[in-house]
Amino acid sequence: MTVLDRLRLDGRVALITGSGRGLGRAMALAFADAGADVVCSARTQAEIDAVADEVRAKGRRAAAVRADVTDSASVERMVERSLAELGRIDILVHNAGGRTAGDGRPLHMISEADWLAGIDANLTSAVSCIRAVIPPMLEQGRGKILTTASGLGLRGNRDLNMYTAAKAGVINLTRSLALSYGRHNIQINTMALGLFPQTEAQATRWGGGRYIPVGRFGTTWEIGPVAVFLCSPAADGINGAVIVQDGGGLAGGVTPFGWAPRIPLPGASA
């Protein structure tokens, strides 16, 4: 077996949440290129239908399963349908999540409902998805689980309360579960991502990437190969790892990217 053979995913089925667009779509297509059959899941049916068609165009089987990962019952149905349509789940990539309403405001201005929504979208959703796929993985005697966190799970950010707390939770959840299930041949890792703008507005707001040590933003296509590696036989010995993909931002310590914005609180002097 060659080195490249160890990166192949032939015969494996990957369930990828949040795969209707952006980074999730890129990972779905990369997994198909590596030989995996793919379950595309997100809240928008038209988007995952389109990605599933792209996977099929690469010669792989695909299913498009709509789900809301903040609803544990919806997650259970997602896993049941995935098993029914493609027969097994060898890989879970939990990619769904993001900033929610209220994030970016000082803590005393955030409602309990906003707090819970942010934690549910980014942390509780990971718990629900992993909990649902563990039984079939235990039954088949192997599995790969990859969560997506953020560099902001490893440092603070002014007024970004729910997102940073939840992503830090995803990182330590991943580490803890790696200790629990590693002996069952289930490897669980996370990617702590940096800045991957999906719109021109994001690119402008984030300073055009000039604060990143490599001098540019991450590009969507760069995510897929890293995810494939972490879910391939080549990474069988990697468990509980936090793989940082941020162009070197966190290498600068507590103030990555060489930039710390000053944003005055309402009613306070700058």
**Do residues 247 and 213 lie in contact, with contact meaning Cβ atoms separated by under 8 Å?**
yes
Which residues fall within 8 angstroms of residue 247, CB to CB, at 6 or more apart?
194, 195, 209, 212, 213, 214, 215, 216, 217, 218
The candidate with the shortest Cα–Cα distance to 167, out of 228, 110, 118, is 118
**Where would I find the beta strands (DSSP E) of the chain?**
13-17, 37-42, 62-66, 91-94, 143-150, 186-193, 242-245
Options 31, 163, 206, 217, the catalytic residue:
163
**Where would I find the beta strands (DSSP E) of 10-158?**
13-17, 37-42, 62-66, 91-94, 143-150
Cα distance between residue 118 and residue 133, in whole Å: 23
99 residue type, one letter: R
Cα distance between residue 173 and residue 189, in whole Å: 10
Exposure letters 55-78 (e unless 16+ CB within 10 A, then b): beeeebbbbbbbbbbbebebbebb
264 residue type, one letter: P
211 is catalytic: no
Cα distance between residue 188 and residue 179, in whole Å: 9
Q: Which residues are catalytic?
A: 163
